[in-house]
Chain A
């Protein structure tokens, strides 16, 4: 967090585009992600995530 306060925000905006536009209006460095919900159901995603974690460990 200290780095964030020192450098200022460099923002990945995920969601409402208006917030990204507001950052650009202030000449702050930002990128907007055109986010869409995952096609697979969230509970399946959770199981996949757990499997991935298990493999990493």
Chain B
């Protein structure tokens, strides 16, 4: 196998086009691997780790780098093929042929004048300007794009606030409005709970756990993780919270996120204690008071617990009993793990959901001490190289460093799949922990992609493999079917992210360290 790269200057292609082109190249018999990505620092580091020579390539996010690993073919032919694939016009489906697809915002509004929301998922460097145009035209904005500068976020949110609009994001992957999932979202019942989340997969996990308890959600408003920091001041979080307090159909609020800054948290709790509706907060890792039952404010330590409390509140059941029921250990699952724990060694978590990765670190650090990560709870434990896990470690492959000019790992599992092969083959690894996030917008069959990695790994004794499937049976992928695929390949599949992390911690704590 020989590895080659070529840089194409000043060409923009969206992440889907790049992924499809890479897949088409990989289908060539002479090509072992192919990758097309924008020439960012992070993407160059990824190529370097895969033994590509990048010494002559200067980082420039406006350039495209094509990397190929091939034999018995002139690499120039493969590069030319790549360009040909990128340049060929996209084949439209019959449905697309008959529908009008405008090329500009104004074109869209000329035929869709009553639009009230813009969902923006273009490269971060352009997203701010497009969001500003949308706000100027009176649209609320959901900004899926990441890599948007902080000052742009503040400017956009202030602008929205002055117009009684909201900016959800940047880096907001999930919202639910009147029961409709926007971005990455699960198919769940509609009901009396409203969620405000500065955490995308946190919102999904609470949504899914509530569905398991047969409680629905009407609105789930995302804000992006930075919103609750001091610099942004919770502009979107506080206005979303107020909108749900004022909303006649919402009976109970659940607030989700990493711990907000002191001032933002104070403002949130002040609103919660003074409003007429029960409020459940799940700010993972925040210092908790006792539940303030007089004011109907409840504090949850995990996302699963937040859902259990909210369900109990809505059903008029005992909150303390709901919390207690979660503490029970599932002995059947633990016994199953005992039979599959073949190797002692470190725990490696390979996540696609940022909040799920964060929650897992919290649970695991209580059990195992230091957990290293590319997005650690404590900056002292940040990995030097996100591509080289050390010790007990959780990697979030949805972090900005991995998503510049590359699809999110919930949509394209190729990158995480290769990392999983490496970890399965690493003899120092005793436990693998993964999330599999389902729903609208996500990959149509993530479990099969994960199982491909298990089959590809060259190992005799597999480490203990624990998974959590964040989804419902009504999701397009069907959670039950995805669970079956994973279990058949040897995974132990848990009912929640918290349970999966907790169980993984039980076995990794026995690792030689």
Interfacial residues, chain A to chain B (CB-CB below 8 A): 1-5, 7-19, 22-23, 25-26, 28-29, 31-38, 42, 45-46, 49
A35 and B386 CA atoms in complex are apart in Å by 32
CB B192 to nearest CB in A, in angstroms, measures 14
B139 CB within 8 Å of chain A: yes
**Docked-complex contact A12 and B108, CB < 8 angstroms:** yes
**Docked-complex contact B122 and A35, CB < 8 angstroms:** yes
B182 CB within 8 Å of chain A: yes
**Docked-complex contact B140 and A1, CB < 8 angstroms:** yes
B247 CB within 8 Å of chain A: yes
**Docked-complex contact B115 and A10, CB < 8 angstroms:** yes
**Docked-complex contact A19 and B12, CB < 8 angstroms:** no
**Docked-complex contact B247 and A5, CB < 8 angstroms:** yes
CB B113 to nearest CB in A, in angstroms, measures 10
Given contacts A1-B243, A4-B140, A33-B102, contact A12 B114 (CB under 8 A): no
* Contact string against A for B residues 94-128, beta-carbon threshold 8 Å, 1 for contact and 0 otherwise: 00000011111101110110111111111101100
**A8, A12, A23, A26 interface centre (most CB from chain B within 10 Å):** A12
A11 and B185 CA atoms in complex are apart in Å by 15
B129 CB within 8 Å of chain A: yes
* Stretch from B173-181, B278-286, B390-398, B504-512 forming part of the interface with A: B173-181
Choose from B114, B115, B121, B126 the contact partner of A19 (Cβ within 8 Å). B121
**Docked-complex contact B103 and A36, CB < 8 angstroms:** yes
**Docked-complex contact A23 and B121, CB < 8 angstroms:** no
**Docked-complex contact A22 and B440, CB < 8 angstroms:** yes
**Docked-complex contact A19 and B183, CB < 8 angstroms:** yes
A26 and B140 CA atoms in complex are apart in Å by 20
Using Cβ atoms and an 8 Å threshold, which residues of chain B touch A18?
Answer: 16, 411, 441
28 cross-chain CB contacts under 8 A = A1-B164, A1-B240, A2-B247, A8-B178, A9-B178, A9-B182, A10-B117, A12-B105, A13-B118, A13-B121, A14-B130, A15-B119, A15-B120, A15-B144, A18-B411, A19-B183, A23-B180, A26-B181, A29-B112, A33-B101, A33-B104, A33-B105, A35-B103, A35-B130, A36-B12, A37-B122, A37-B123, A37-B126
A57 and B449 CA atoms in complex are apart in Å by 56
A51 and B459 CA atoms in complex are apart in Å by 64
A37 and B103 CA atoms in complex are apart in Å by 11
A sample of 19 more A-B contacts (CB under 8 A), given A8-B179, A9-B178, A12-B139, is A1-B166, A1-B239, A5-B219, A7-B116, A8-B178, A11-B118, A12-B109, A15-B14, A19-B182, A19-B183, A19-B441, A22-B181, A26-B181, A31-B111, A32-B101, A34-B102, A37-B123, A42-B129, A45-B129
Interfacial residues, chain B to chain A (CB-CB below 8 A): 12, 14-16, 100-105, 107-109, 111-112, 114-123, 125-126, 129-130, 134, 139-140, 144-145, 164-166, 177-183, 185, 219, 239-240, 243, 246-247, 411, 440-441, 476
Using Cβ atoms and an 8 Å threshold, which residues of chain A touch B177?
Answer: 4-5, 8-9
**Docked-complex contact B114 and A10, CB < 8 angstroms:** yes
Using Cβ atoms and an 8 Å threshold, which residues of chain A touch B14?
Answer: 15-16
A29 and B177 CA atoms in complex are apart in Å by 12
**Docked-complex contact A16 and B16, CB < 8 angstroms:** yes
Closest to B185 in A: A22
A26 and B119 CA atoms in complex are apart in Å by 15
**Docked-complex contact A12 and B181, CB < 8 angstroms:** no
CB B227 to nearest CB in A, in angstroms, measures 14
CB A38 to nearest CB in B, in angstroms, measures 8
Closest to A36 in B: B103
**Docked-complex contact B112 and A10, CB < 8 angstroms:** yes
Given contacts A11-B182, A12-B134, A16-B16, contact A31 B121 (CB under 8 A): no
A18 and B130 CA atoms in complex are apart in Å by 19
**A16, A46, A49 interface centre (most CB from chain B within 10 Å):** A16
**Docked-complex contact A17 and B16, CB < 8 angstroms:** yes
Given contacts A1-B166, A5-B219, A8-B180, contact A14 B107 (CB under 8 A): no
A8 and B247 CA atoms in complex are apart in Å by 13
A8 and B108 CA atoms in complex are apart in Å by 18
